[in-house]
């Protein structure tokens, strides 16, 4: 194996590593997206839960206010009956109204009480829901931070492989380096492994003569289709 071939093999390896690292970055981005969607979902459902509770509380308040208003009205009518001079017909009407309102007040008070109890019960549940929501959110945030650290690690690894790749390129004899740079401007992997009888870069079948030259290993060989440098996956 010539020195140039050894360099090209090392380059193929570096390109391969870079390819894998960028694939992992894509995976991480996908995972982050899924986690963010779960965070948004958790936020949304807890907001709905709080809204439910708010409505229940509001219903209890409204029922209580209604009971209070009915109670005030009964007192007002009663006061009229007790202290004012009212015509007989109106007196009858007021008495009848008081009776109706008392029945209504009983029902309203009962409902208001039941609602207040429900609010109290739901407040406890809401606290539990909030605790598990916070916990879930915490886990998801942690997971996102873990991915963030992983991404930074991969970025550093990428930088170091990229530096190695550039060093290797710098060591190539000038004509090879120029060819490499020309290819690299278009494609991420100017050096391809031979895969059976095909070029690992363009996947086209290689000529017998090309394969033979490769096996002899005396010179640098390029793919006749895509012009990539070719290296054997072994040796």
Contact residues: Zn ion, CB under 5 A: 199, 201-202, 223, 225-226, 228
- Residue 226 Cβ, how far from Zn ion at the closest point, in Å? 3
- Residue 188 Cβ, how far from Zn ion at the closest point, in Å? 14
Distance CA 131, CA 133 (A): 5
Question: Measured from the CB atom, is 18 or 194 closer to Zn ion?
Answer: 194
111 CB contacts (<8 Å, ≥6 apart)? Answer: 63
Question: Measured from the CB atom, is 98 or 192 closer to Zn ion?
Answer: 192
- Closest residue by Cα to residue 2 from 196, 170, 172, 161: 172
Q: For tokens 């969607």, what's the residue?
A: 37
Question: Measured from the CB atom, is 164 or 184 closer to Zn ion?
Answer: 184
Question: Measured from the CB atom, is 35 or 202 closer to Zn ion?
Answer: 202
Distance CA 76, CA 72 (A): 6
- Cβ atoms within 10 A of the Cβ of 7, count? 24
- Residue 230 Cβ, how far from Zn ion at the closest point, in Å? 8
Question: Measured from the CB atom, is 70 or 222 closer to Zn ion?
Answer: 222
Question: Measured from the CB atom, is 26 or 207 closer to Zn ion?
Answer: 207
Q: Angle, to 10 degrees, between the axis of helix 174-184 and the axis of helix 3-83?
A: 30
- Residue 227 Cβ, how far from Zn ion at the closest point, in Å? 7
Distance CA 96, CA 25 (A): 79
- What are the DSSP calls for 54-72, one per residue? HHHHHHHHHHHHHHHHHHH
- Residue 223 Cβ, how far from Zn ion at the closest point, in Å? 3
- Residue 42 Cβ, how far from Zn ion at the closest point, in Å? 49
- Closest residue by Cα to residue 10 from 209, 147, 167, 221: 167
């Amino acid at each position: 194996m010539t020195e140039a071939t050894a360099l090209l093999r090392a380059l193929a390896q570096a390109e391969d590593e870079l390819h894998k690292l960028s694939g992992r970055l894509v995976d991480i981005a996908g995972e982050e997206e899924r986690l963010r969607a779960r965070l948004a979902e958790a936020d949304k459902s807890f907001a709905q839960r709080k809204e439910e509770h708010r409505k229940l509380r509001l219903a209890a308040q409204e029922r209580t206010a209604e009971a209070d208003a009915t109670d005030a009205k009964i007192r007002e009518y009663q006061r009229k009956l007790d202290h004012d001079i009212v015509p007989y017909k109106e007196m009858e009407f007021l008495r009848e109204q008081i009776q109706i309102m008392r029945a209504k007040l009983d029902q309203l008070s009962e409902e208001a009480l039941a609602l207040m109890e429900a609010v109290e019960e739901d407040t406890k549940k809401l606290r539990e829901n909030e605790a598990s929501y916070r916990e879930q959110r915490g886990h998801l945030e942690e997971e996102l931070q873990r991915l963030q650290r992983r991404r930074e690690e991969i970025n550093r690894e990428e930088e170091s492989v990229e530096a190695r790749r550039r060093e290797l390129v710098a060591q190539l004899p000038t004509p090879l380096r120029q060819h490499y740079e020309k290819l690299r401007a278009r494609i991420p992997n100017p050096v391809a492994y031979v895969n059976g009888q095909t070029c690992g870069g363009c996947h086209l079948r290689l000529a017998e003569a090309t394969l033979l030259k490769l096996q002899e290993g005396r010179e640098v060989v390029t793919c006749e289709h895509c012009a990539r440098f070719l290296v054997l996956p072994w040796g």
